[in-house]
Structure 1
Amino acid sequence: MTRTVITGLGVAAPNGLGHENHWKSVLAGSTGIAPVTGFDASGYPAALAGQIDDFVDAEHIPSRLLPQTDRSTRLGLAAADWAFDDAGVEIGDLTDYQMGVVTSNALGGFDFTHREFRNLWNQGPAYVSVYESFAWFYAVNTGQISIRHKMRGPSAALVGEQAAGLDALGHARRTVRGGTPLVVAGGVDSAFDPWGYVSQLAGGLVTREGDPARGYLPFDAAASGYVPGEGGAMLVVEDADNARARGARQIYGELTGYAAGFDPAPGSDRGPALGRTARSAIADAGLTPADIDVVFADGAGVPHLDAAEAEAITALFGARGVPVTVPKALTGRLYGGGGPLDVATALLAIRDGVVPPTHGLSGPPEAYGIDLVRDEARELPLRHALVLARGRHGFNSAVVLTAFDS
């Protein structure tokens, strides 16, 4: 069986650009959640977001690409560049058909599209950018990354809201196992123009809390919803033999398990699929629940969803049977970028032997029965990490990451 490893991390997160900056922020409890700054949100029922304030587009993206890309694509292009640099990949290392791209995206190019809509309504069709034909599309990140890096191998774009980022990594593993030596995979999302923001509020799960320190409280007794965020991560996924042969700078870990599931229809007598999905991912890795050292939970911050996830975790591991953490409490939920960012964070946790804390919580209800790591990092030898993600309307995904033994 081909061993699939992760050799490069490219992170664009509200609390840090670059994986090391993000990791330092996670350990220190530095949040990227703040009041919305891109427009006047005083008339909206919510006011918080996980925004990336230190990403200057023109500093990271070639000028020829700026007119044809939405912010989400620019973040994706930059994150892919950083992942390649981190992995020490030179475009000449492999031929074009030996490299693929798999990305996830849930929101598309909101800012770009709505700017062109305004041009259409106010000035007429002659003022609509020709790039509107693709800049809005959820698959454009895969296309732009593949063009920029001359990657013509098997590629895909996946949509499954918060769960799709893990699906992208699972699909990348399948692609590597199918014979493609290297795939860049992950996801980003961004939709913080006025229309994009209100579209996220329409689902009814975004918190109305105005205090950034109290906005997103996964598994907390005071949880009132989530905070939407922007960004995500791109990762270089490779065949282990290829990584060693080209002299990869490091191998962060092995992607040993993956599974996806889908919740039954409302009113069904069957329970949510998350527990079954997690168990399947662990079995796919050739492990048992007793082997898992830490769970990076989905952590919706919505009471009934948190309770359902806690029930799935305790059913699998027993009450307080495994450390649980939700570092995305510092960034907000990033939709297609959320799972890949959790995977990048989990790999750094394995590297450094530390479970990052979930900051700012007063504590979970006793009935949840989970060992939630709060406020202070917990030093532990970590070999196997389980990452969970759920998307709206029933999507569930899970991956298992394992420390790599050469």
Structure 2
Amino acid sequence: MTRKLHLTGFVKPAGEYPAGWRHPDSPPAAGTDIRFLAEQVRRLEAATFDAVFLPDLTGVPDVKPDVLERLAVVNDAFEPLTALSALAPLTERIGLLGTVSTSYSQPYTVARALASLDHLSGGRAGWNVVTSLNDAEARNFGADAHLAHADRYRRAEEFFDVVAGLWDSFDDDAVTRDVESGRYFDPDGLHRLDHDGEFFRVAGPLNIRRPIQGRPVIAQAGSSGAGQALAARIADLVFTRALPVEDALPHARAIKAQAAALGRDPDHVLVLPELATVVAPTRAEAEDRFAEVRDLLHPSVALADVEYWTGTRLAHLPLDSPLPPPADSNASRGAQAEIYRQAVRDGLTVGDLAREVAEGDGAVIGSPTDVADHIEQLFTAGAADGFTVSFPWLPTTLTAFTQLVVPELRRRGLFRTDYEGTTLREHLGLGRPAAR
């Protein structure tokens, strides 16, 4: 089987780079401008991206006010499934992938919303399963602190099983709409779930027929041991941090091996590392273009980003200090471990890590050839099945990727020239799951 490169567009309308919203080309109110968002998604669709992927937090994070006031992306953004439902009639083929937390949602509501999105879009829905990140989110849902790491992953496992069971409430052929007999559906084809578990009691059945795709595409981004185990069991798409090929390859192999051990086809567990790019016709032009936004970033924001992902207070330390031992934090365990591993391996100080954020945090800044070479290297090595392409500021970096990099990938025979199906599962080469 010839492998096909997969691309999803990770879209934060305010930009992935913390100061992206300040760039002169970026509309200041992009976070809640559905027309602007639709324009970006249609550009991705014209470039035959598999899906657009909308991230989410369920609250404003706990960071210092002088940092928080400088951030757009966490303070003014659409709820993903609402935005994707609005985008469904404005697009035709691109997948619509939204983030929903298992820690601060209820399975029945999520099952119904995602089944509805799959029908609204003609079979293009996807769910990025997350367990949420911080205590500020917890306080919006009646808790003082975020669930402990092990607890939130056990809850996520059960949450997914309930949702998947609810999607199978109706057999595929149960809804007959037989006007002559007056029977809308065959009652023998409707099934209660009657789930009674550690976290949830859900009777079912779901009051909407089975999704067009059988099950919306499932994505997962956990990089801790528990996160990888969850991804290996349930995910069609696995999102990972940007990693060099020497780290990305064993990471991808480990996830696929876990999936195979569970009886899944590892070729149907697609690993898509994040890829941020600033691309221009020449490398010098791309570097000049990035310098425009880099100069807009306040130093305190870069340091706060390192604090957020390490779960460790750093602002009181000299910039030439090594990272202190990791705090007993409830932050993202996988992200924390990767940052500490990199810091130890490369001898990075607190200031070095803040400068990495300021310099694009691993973004590929260069010509179309530079970016395509990076993509081809990881793809042909088996370290990636494709990429979750993020955009430091919009619309400039998104437009440049679609106009400059996609044609180069097509010239190399790596990426499609047109969609071959209509559903997101078809774009990804995934079969339609049978009802359980």
TM tier, shorter chain?
A: under 0.3
Name the TM-score, length of structure 1 as normaliser.
0.28
Q: Compute the TM-score of the two structures, normalised by the length of structure 2.
A: 0.26
Task: Please identify which structure carries the higher strand content.
Answer: 1
Greater Rg by CA: 2
